[in-house]
Amino acid sequence: MDEAGRGPWAGPVVAAAVVVSRRLPRVRIDDSKRLTPAQRERAYHAILEHARVGVGIVHAARIDAENIRQATLRAMEEAVAHLARRPDLVLVDGHDVPSLSIPCWPVIGGDRLSYPIACASIIAKVTRDSLMVFYHRLFPEYRFDAHKGYGTPAHRDALRLHGPSLLHRMSFRPLAASSS
Amino acid sequence: MTQTFRQARGRAAEQMAVAYLRREGYEIEATNVRFKVGELDVVAREGETLCFLEVRSRTSEQFGSALESITPMKRRRFIRAVRWYLARRRRPWLGPMRFDVVAIQHRQGAPPSLTLLRDAFTADS
């Protein structure tokens, strides 16, 4: 299991849980950050075809209401709940794990070390990115398609010009500062 | 509640051990019992025997390291906790008892392997 979108100023945090029974042929699987977008896309479809996948999504309003850590853990719980079959053990990227009745084993640097965690990082990343591309059509002024909600100079300029949208995490520093 | 990395791993190890013990036919009586004097990871019955279990998990490759990580000091704490547990048990236990160890060995790129050592040590050692 892995997550995407802990850091950005806008959009949801997405967690993915993947159960792979064997290595996938002819696709490169690695930490999603170490693949090119094209490789990620290819891997994404291969994983969906050959593995069991659960996804959890927690939106910006909930991130503001709780905090990013709780929201991320909630997304992870959801991802595991959406798996068709309950696994015996969950390997979680990072040092923080949700409290489930299934043992959750934290693996620091897991997206590089563990094949299933790498798969999960790809599912989470591609799912989140495509959501942000979709949101771009609702709020074209922010260019979510380009930066996916992350803090870039262009995103900062758009915020200055248009103010925050429904999708922005008002509890995050650049936004909290501008609204007060 | 904020848990540290080590606590998270300890909890996961314990959950794995409990699931494994159930498959082995143990009846779980209590988990994670804490006293000031020490703590017990799992208390369970196997047949007529009351078993006190210590769960050790290790990521290093050397065999036996999980067992060796129980130092005399830890063993003393463990036995003190056992006395407390027996003193506080709702019905006094008159049957046989045993100390077991579940060693969980984590290897990179493979599922963790669990080893159950029945009667791993005694109260006087």
What's the ipTM? 0.72
Q: From the list B8, B14, B19, which residue is nearest A97 (CB)? A: B8
Percentage of residues of chain A with pLDDT beyond 70: 97
Residue B105: the pLDDT is: 82
The nearest alpha carbon in chain B to A87 belongs to B16
Residue ranges with strand state E in chain B: 27-35, 38-46, 49-58, 97-105, 113-117
Residue B9: the pLDDT is: 85
Residue A180: the pLDDT is: 45
Q: How confident is the model at residue A55 (pLDDT cuts 50, 70, 90)?
A: very high
Supply the DSSP string of chain A, one letter for each residue. -EEE-SS-SBS-EEEEEEE-SSPPTT-----GGGS-HHHHHHHHHHHHHHSEEEEEEE-HHHHHHS-HHHHHHHHHHHHHHTSSS--S-EEEESS-----SS-EEEETTHHHH-HHHHHHHHHHHHHHHHHHHHHHHH-GGG-HHHHTT---HHHHHHHHHH---TTB-TTSHHHHHHH-
Q: What is the pLDDT of residues A97-135, one digit of tens each?
A: 998 989 998 888 889 988 999 999 999 999 999 999 999
B62 touches chain A (CB under 8 A): no
Q: What is the largest CA-CA distance in chain A?
A: 52
Count of Cβ atoms closer than 10 Å to residue B107 Cβ: 11
pLDDT-wise least confident of A1-5, A157-161, B3-7: B3-7
Residue A39: the pLDDT is: 93
Residues of chain B with pLDDT below 50 are: 1, 125
Q: From the list B12, B13, B108, which residue is nearest A113 (CB)? A: B108
Residue A102: the pLDDT is: 92
Q: What is the pLDDT of residues A63-99, one digit of tens each?
A: 999 999 999 999 999 999 999 999 999 999 998 899 8
Residue B110: the pLDDT is: 67
Contacts of B111 in chain A (CB under 8 A): 89
3-state secondary structure of B29: strand
> pTM of this prediction?
0.81
3-state secondary structure of B20: helix
**Cβ distance of A105 and B109 shorter than 8 Å:** no
Angle at A16 between CA A15 and CA A22, to 5 degrees: 160
Percentage of residues of chain A with pLDDT beyond 90: 71
Interface test with B, best of A105, A114, A117 (most B CBs within 10 A): A105
